[in-house]
Every structure is written in C-alpha cells, then in structure tokens.
Structure 1
C-alpha cells in the first residue's frame, strides 16, 4: 500500500473541508507548489490534487496544478470537475498521470467507461459514501445507490483504481472503521484507494493489511502535523513486488 498526499485547492490556497462544505474551508497558510515539492521530497510516489473551484464550477486552479505537475517529478492524479471526454484528455495531455471522476459517474456511467477505454489505467472512479449510500455534488445529494453495487457497475472498465471515501469517518461521525473500505475492496477487481479514514499512524497500519487496498489518500492529517509523511510511508511500505505500480 502507498500513502498518497492530498492537496485540495480553492482560490489558489491549500484547504481542507469541514464535512465537505465548500463555504467553510479550513485554510492552510502554505504555498501549494512548495508543499507538493516537499511531499515528493519526503518520498511520495503519487500526489492527489483536487481542484475544488473546478468541481463547483466557480473557476479553476489550473495554473497552479500545471506548475505542480512540472516541479514535483512524481505522477499526479487530478480530481475536480471532469465531466467530458475532452476535459479528461486535456488533463492527461498536460501531464497528469490519472484523472479522477466522481459525481459525473453517477449521472453518466457510460462516460466513465468510455474514458477508461480511451485511456486505460489512467481513469480513477471516485465513490463518496454517507450512511450507506453514494452521494454526489460535494456530499450534498444522496443517491439510491449502495457502494458495492455501484462499484460493480464499472467492473468491465479498465480503471486504474477506485477511490472510496467514508464520509461518516471523514466527518467524525464514526471511529474510522475500515469496514466500508474493505467491503468495497472485497467486491471489485480494481485496486481500491481509501479516503477519509486516516487520522493517525494506527489507521495506516490497519489499512495496510486489508485485501486489495492499493493506497490511502491523506490530507488533513499531514497539514495539521498529526504525523509526518515519512512516518506514514515507512509503516505502509510492503515488499517492492507488492507496491502499487507507477
């Protein structure tokens, strides 16, 4: 399993969201490009960048993201507002290693499947789960879909991975159990990336031994100095042949 540092960008700043609320971000007074370079220097193999403005349809952080891609020297997966095949292709052309698609997958599953066919092993499906159901539009709108059944809808597509966010854990409404993540990981063939449940090094230790977990997204815990990235990487690292290929 690998630890994937996460940088969420809003209006040019690094932020983390309180219960997914775009209007109440926690602002971190750091330079996003410098922080990305620091993550790479600390041993990160991948970097996850979320453009919250693009996701909400209120501008973008494209220039910062392009600068990060140029400077970090490691592959980046980009999330936020990818709704068309042209936009996906443009992101990859600018140097992204992978494109993450979330809410658009609920509205148009065929879009994700077609993107994966055109760009095999470069598309990541993102599934946000709250109280047992998939939610969309920044966690605001619940759907009727259960996470396992929804994930299985994409089984034939050559996805790079599936990101599963446990919103109950992310929002502090649960103890960060790996139950939801492991349930989805058991049900699909695509590698699963856990999101929303890492608050401590103990969480990394637990995830490391869950079958089919390829990685864990970690954002707030790193920005708030709950632990250092080097510590998390050391705990998560397995034998070289088991590591998620780049």
Structure 2
C-alpha cells in the first residue's frame, strides 16, 4: 500500500482546512519545499499536493509547485482547480506525475475520459462524498451524482486510480468511514486511494486489509506529528498477515 504525504498550499504556505472550510485555513509555519524533501528522505514514494488558491479561483502556487516537482526527487500527484484540458496538459509537461480531477469530471466527463486516454496512468478521479452525493468546487457544491454512478461513468477510462473521501467523517473530525470507502472500492476495477482515514499508525495497518485499497493520503496527521512517516511507511509496506476465513 502506498502512502501519499500530502501538503495543501495557500499563499505559499502549508495549510489544513478545518471542517472543509476554504475560507478558514489553519496555517502551519513550516517550509513547504523542505517539508516535501523531508517526506522524500523518509522514504515516501509519492507526494500529493493541493493548490488551495487554484481551487478557490484566487491565483495559484504555480512557482512553488514547480519548484517542489523539480527538487523533491519523487513523483508528485497534483490537485486543485483544474478546469480545462490545457491546464492538465501543461502541468504534465511541467513534470507532474499525476493530475487529480473532480469538478472537471462532473462538468465535462468526456474531456476527462479523453485525457485519461492521452495520459494513461496519469489521471486520478477524486470522489468526495457528503450525505450520499458527490461534492464539487472543493466540497462547496453538492452535485446530482451518487458516488456509485459517478465512479461507474469512468469505469472504462484508463485512470491511474480513484481518491475517495468521506466528507461527512472529515468534517466531523471522526474516523473516516471505512464502510463507505470499502463499499465503493468493491465496485470499481480501478485502485482506490483513501483520504481522511489516517489519524494514527494503527489506521494504516487497518486500511491494508480493505480490498482494493491501494493507498492513502496523509496530511494533517503528519504535520501534527500524530503519525511518524517512517513508521507508517514501514507498516504500509509490510506483508499482510494471514487472515482466517469465517464461515
């Protein structure tokens, strides 16, 4: 299982969002570039970056993101504010390993399917679920799609994977709903990456036993030091222990 240490960037700083509120980010007084390099030095195979400015439509962190992509030494998965094929292609040409799409997938699914064909294994679908519906615009707007139908619409596309977030659990600051994530993971052929489920190393161990979960994003728990990345990576990479079959 792959762990993706995650940084959310706003006005050049690392932030986390409280209860999903884009207008009230918590600022962490750390250097984003050096933090990303430290994650790579700890053994991470991938980084995940979210550009909160681009997500809000208030500029971007393009220079900082490009600096991280060039200097971190591991592939970077990038999300936040993608609305056109051109912006996706531009960042792939700049070296982004994968691009995460959500709102664009809801408004222009044909474009996302085409991008997945042009860039196989580089397009990730984000499915953010709140009260049974897929959210768009950075969790701000409820769409008409159920998560099942949304995922099914991209089943034939050569996606690199699907990120699933249980927004209800994230907003309530409770454990992510493995039931919801596991249920959706069982309905797709694409590997699923869980978001919002890792608050301790024990959560990493638990997630490994969920079928078709290929990875997890870890952000706030690393910044708050509730999770040690080296320890979490060791758990994620360890072979799964045998599980008894129950009749």
Normalising by structure 1, we get a TM-score of: 0.94
Partner of 1:199: 199
Shift of the alpha carbon at 1:174?
A: 4.3
Deviates more, 1:119-128 or 1:229-238: 229-238
- 1:91 aligned onto 2:108: no
- 1:11 aligned onto 2:11: yes
Shift of the alpha carbon at 1:193?
A: 0.4
Partner of 2:186: 186
CA deviations on 1:139-162 (whole Å, 9 max, x unpaired) are 121122211221011001000010
Partner of 1:231: 231
CA deviations on 1:188-217 (whole Å, 9 max, x unpaired) are 001100001211112111111111111100
Separation in 1 of the partners of 2:2 and 2:238? 9
Shift of the alpha carbon at 1:173?
A: 5.6
**4+ runs of 1 displaced by more than 6 Å?**
none
Contact kept, 8 Å, 2:19 with 2:173, in 1: the verdict is no
Shift of the alpha carbon at 1:40?
A: 0.3
Contact kept, 8 Å, 2:155 with 2:188, in 1: the verdict is yes
Partner of 2:47: 47
Separation in 1 of the partners of 2:41 and 2:111? 36
CA deviations on 1:163-201 (whole Å, 9 max, x unpaired) are 001111212264323111111110000110000121111
Partner of 1:145: 145
Normalising by structure 2, we get a TM-score of: 0.94
CA deviations on 1:58-78 (whole Å, 9 max, x unpaired) are 100000011101111100011
Gaps of 5+ in 1: 240-246
Separation in 2 of the partners of 1:8 and 1:174? 20
Query: Which SS does the other structure have where 2:145 is aligned?
Result: coil
